Chains A and B, each alone.
Chain A
Amino acid sequence: MLLLILMPFFWLLWSLTLDGANARYTAARVKMSLNRAVKGAVAAVNTDALAAGVVEIDEAGARAAFDRLLKDNLGLRSDFSPAPDSPLLAVPEVLVFYICRGPDFPCVFQTVMGIRHSFHDPGVLAVIRARCRRGFISSQGQEIYAYSAAEIKRWLNADGW
């Protein structure tokens, strides 16, 4: 009898545990997707400038790479609406997409949201707001903010270049 009384309680407890784990997983996936998107944006360098040895992020190319990688990693359709297997519940909102070209470094970027970031090389900073699925019990989902930044720089390898 006691077991019958405790079963719903344990069931609820278990569900809450699963929901929390799923929420953390979803948030991590959004962050990881955003990380990849900003890395892709940073990689979209202007080849003409690169030919002369100057690293310059191409604005249009960076945004295109960012959008494509974000869609691919978050399971979004071409209009950014979530596909059935997407962890998102709605179209994500890109709050900040900032390209830092320099030429003076370090370059400090600050937003009204309180984000303050220092660039030491050309880079991209992006902030998105996304509404994600929460889990099995909650049907309302959760709203998360993700913030990523990446930079690109020449480096010397073990051969000395």
Chain B
Amino acid sequence: MIFLGKRQRIAWLVPFALLVLVSFDMNREIDSALAAAGIYIDDSFNDISQVDAARTTAEVDTANGWVTLSRLNMANSLLLYPGSQYLTLINGDAAETYRPAGGRMAKDPAYSVSGGLTSPVSIAGHIPAEYLVLERGGREAAYYQHDGTGMMKNGVLGVSQLNDPLALAAGDGYDFWLADGSEVRSYVFDGRGFVLNGYLGVSLEVEGASAVSISDGSSGPVGDYGFSVVDRLNKRVLSYVWNGSVMGKCDALSIETGLTSPRSVSRDGALLVVADGDWVKAFTYDGTSLLPNPFLSVRMPAAPLAVAVKPGGFEYAVLYEGESGGPAVSHYAFDGLEMREVPERRITGLAAIPYDNCQRLVGKGAAAGRAVTGLMLVAETDLPPGTEIVWEVTVDGATWKETVNNGPAVRFDVAGTKPNYRAVLKTSDPAVAPKIFGVRLMDASLAVEGMRVVNIVGPEIAGNPPLPTSLPVKIWAGYDVAFQVETTGHAELVSAVIHGAGVTAIIVSCEPLWPVDSDANTWQGAFHAPVDAPRGTVLQMDVTAVKGTVRVSASYPGFAEIYASALENHLIHLTH
């Protein structure tokens, strides 16, 4: 290449440039071909290019090509206590506290809630005798305390009527952080109960379910009050601190690059630990920023689901899917060189993590490039007993209408140009989940087309092929002409206007051939070509279909020509 002249070098690049252009054009043709066929979305979930990731809470498995309910987010389901070897975790519908006993971790019933919790996902506290449990199913954060015999729910303390509770983290004292939808809020104990601290709330400016994990940062090195949160959608960990007037993002304690699939965060002082991919990654604050700390990081045998740092020590517990298939918890401690698992503190035999419920799949939508008034959705699904998928479609992104998979088309009174779909995946059995293998969103707009002349008097006029004849048709002034049009989109009324130079407009009200309760229909009308229409007059037909307030028209300019007068078609002769 270095021996080639400038022109030769450019010439050498031309074939590659053409190849790129051709590839680009081919993709565009495929898209336009689908659009022309009235298919706005055709997604088999091999990638997320057609999924609105910011609004989708269901799990899109691009490796297998399906969408299903994700397991409950357990990112904050482990709790280690300062100065203690107790560990509390969420196990099924229970909150169980374990302590070392006889070379293994044994459950301590006195500090456990044995069951009855409604989809618990998160736990926070400072001592085994007092902790908060976030019950996603009940949409509340319930306070449990030891009453001398066991853990009892405190009916006064707690926060209920949450919107989309995701994660919970305890603050320094009687306060906690709560990720609820796209917001992180602070609650403090005012002597009677937990009240919202309006000053410390943060809107994450991302859709819900991104904040899958939260960790208190009050004892951190920057600021005097704050928290860290995982933004799973954008693959980052953000830290917020109180700057004296508002809660603001702290770049020094945030990790915005280098994470592949962060799920859980736990923070203690200058140490911040993130469950990311197959790793538990540790970061330490060096006074200016967070730096990866390989000595405190561990590669797990399976993707970690939750991590909890023990306050005041280089130890953390990790929840992951164990080799036997069920969840397990391993405890890691720094031995002076690296993090090593403490085998006698491993906990196995935990209940399978149940599926979450009511998760959304939202399409990215399509630019139709034309007015859409009806849509039809066809999806390939797997619906085990107890599961359900509720589908909705829209044409403008604002008005959503429920539809049925492979059911009748959905009609909209106002046309739009942004067709899209969304689904809510539901299950009444936490052990099973519905699956969506593919979605196809098709056009079913009100349309009128296919006008054809089906009957003319004197069809033998020169130039007319056999009926139904193609256009333009040569007709006689004075004779009737019958025509048919096809409509889709459940047209309620169809009319036609025939006009031409020197011809008074003729309005024809068409009649349906079949009841108008069907989506597609054929309509028939007839008009009388004015007997005084001059020879050679070219006629145009404008057909209009109406459905509610939606009207669509199709024009057929020059569909017919007055060939002669019907009177000229007769011979009067004397017979006597």
* Chain B residue with Cβ nearest A38: B574
Is A155 engaged at the interface, CB distance under 8 Å to the other chain?
A: yes
Query: B426 CB to closest chain A CB, in angstroms?
Result: 61
Measured between C-beta atoms, what is the minimum distance from B456 to chain A in Å? 9
Residue of A nearest to B531 (CB): A47
- Contact A149-B576, Cβ < 8 Å, known A52-B457, A161-B460: yes
A125 CB contacts on chain B under 8 angstroms: 576
* Contact in complex: B462, A51 (CB < 8 Å): no
Interface membership of A84, Cβ < 8 A: no
Closest to B528 in A: A51
Please, how many angstroms separate the alpha-carbon atoms of A47 and B532 in the complex? 12
**Roughly how many angstroms separate A106 CA and B531 CA in the complex, as a whole number?**
29
Q: Are B570 and A155 in contact (CB under 8 A)?
A: yes
Q: Does B38 contact A (CB under 8 A)?
A: no
- Answer whether residue A145 sits at the interface, using C-beta atoms and an 8 A cutoff: no
Question: In the docked arrangement, what's the CA distance between A79 and B570, Å?
Answer: 33
State the Cβ distance, A120 to closest chain B Cβ, in Å: 8
A160 in contact with B460 given A47-B478, A50-B479, A154-B569 (CB within 8 Å)? yes
CB distance from B453 to the nearest CB of A (A): 15
Asked if A155 meets B571 with Cβ closer than 8 Å, knowing A50-B479, A52-B480, A161-B462, the reply is yes
Chain A residue contacts of B564, Cβ below 8 A: 161
- The size of the chain A interface, using a CB distance under 8 A, is 30
Q: Is the CB of A151 within 8 A of B460?
A: no
Query: Which positions 15-50 of chain A face chain B at CB distance < 8 Å?
Result: 35, 38-39, 42-43, 45, 47, 50
Measured CA separation A38–B531 after assembly (Å): 22
The listed residue with most B CB atoms (<10 A of its CB), out of A42, A51, A52, A120, is: A51
Task: Tell me the complex Cα distance, A154–B461, Å.
Answer: 13
Of the candidates B479, B480, B572, the one whose C-beta lies within 8 Å of that of A39 is B572
A99 in the interface (beta carbon within 8 A):
no
Residues of B within 8 Å of A119, CB to CB, are 575
Is A92 located at the chain interface by the 8 A CB criterion? Answer: no
| Residue B192 at the chain A interface, CB threshold 8 Å | no
Q: How far is the CA of A120 from the CA of B461 in the complex (A)?
A: 24
Q: Is the CB of B574 within 8 A of A161?
A: no
Taking CB atoms, residues of chain B closer than 8 Å to A50 are 478-479, 566
Q: Within the assembled complex, what's the spacing in Å between the Cα atoms of A121 and B571?
A: 10
Nearest-neighbour CB distance to chain B for A121, whole angstroms, equals 9
Contact indicator A160/B570 (Cβ below 8 Å): no
Which residue of chain A has the shortest Cβ distance to B461 in the bound complex?
A: A161
Which residues on B sit within 8 Å (CB–CB) of A123?
Answer: 575
- In the assembled complex, the Cα of A39 lies from the Cα of B528 at a distance in Å of 26
**Nearest CB on A from B181, distance (A):** 69
Interface pair A159/B575, CB less than 8 Å apart: no
* B461 surroundings in chain A (CB, below 8 A): 161
Interface contact B462-A160, CB-CB below 8 Å: yes
Contact for B574 among A43, A120, A149, A154, CB less than 8 A:
A149
Smallest CB separation, B2 vs chain A (Å): 79
With both beta carbons as reference points, the residue of chain B lying nearest to A160 in the complex is identified as B462
Q: Nearest Cβ in chain B — how far from A129, in angstroms?
A: 16
Instruction: Check: A114 CB closer than 8 A to any chain B CB.
Output: no
With a 10 A CB-CB cut-off, give which of B457, B564, B571, B576 has the most chain A CB atoms. Answer: B576
Q: How far is the CA of A57 from the CA of B575 in the complex (A)?
A: 16
Which residues in A have their C-beta under 8 angstroms from that of B572? 39, 42-43, 150-152
A35 to B575, CA, bound (A): 10
Closest residue of A by beta carbon distance from B575? A149
Hey, which chain A residues are within 8 Å of B566, CB to CB? Answer: 50-51
B575 and A151 within 8 A (CB): yes
Complex Cα distance, B575 from A147, in Å, reads 11
CB closest chain-A residue, reference B574: A150
Q: Is there a chain A Cβ closer than 8 Å to B573's Cβ?
A: yes
- In this assembly, does A73 line the interface, its C-beta being within 8 Å of a C-beta of chain B? no
B100 within 8 A of A: no
CB of B571 within 8 A of CB of A153, answer yes
B570 A153 Cβ-Cβ under 8 A:
yes
| Chain B window 450-469, contacts with chain A (Cβ cutoff 8 Å), 1 for yes, 0 for no | 00000001101110000000
Q: Give the complex CA separation of A52 and B460 in angstroms.
A: 14
Q: How far is the CB of B157 from chain A (nearest CB, A)?
A: 88
Give the chain A neighbours of B480 by CB distance below 8 A.
51-53
Alpha-carbon separation in the docked complex, A51 to B457 (Å): 7
16 of the cross-chain contacts (CB-CB < 8 Å) are A35-B574, A39-B572, A39-B574, A43-B572, A51-B457, A51-B528, A53-B457, A53-B479, A117-B576, A123-B575, A149-B575, A149-B576, A150-B572, A151-B572, A159-B462, A161-B462
- Apart from the given pairs A154-B569, A154-B571, 8 other A-B contacts in the complex at a CB distance below 8 Å: A38-B574, A39-B574, A47-B531, A51-B480, A53-B480, A123-B575, A155-B570, A155-B571
Closest 9 CB pairs of A and B: A53-B457, A149-B576, A155-B571, A51-B480, A159-B462, A149-B575, A152-B572, A51-B528, A150-B574
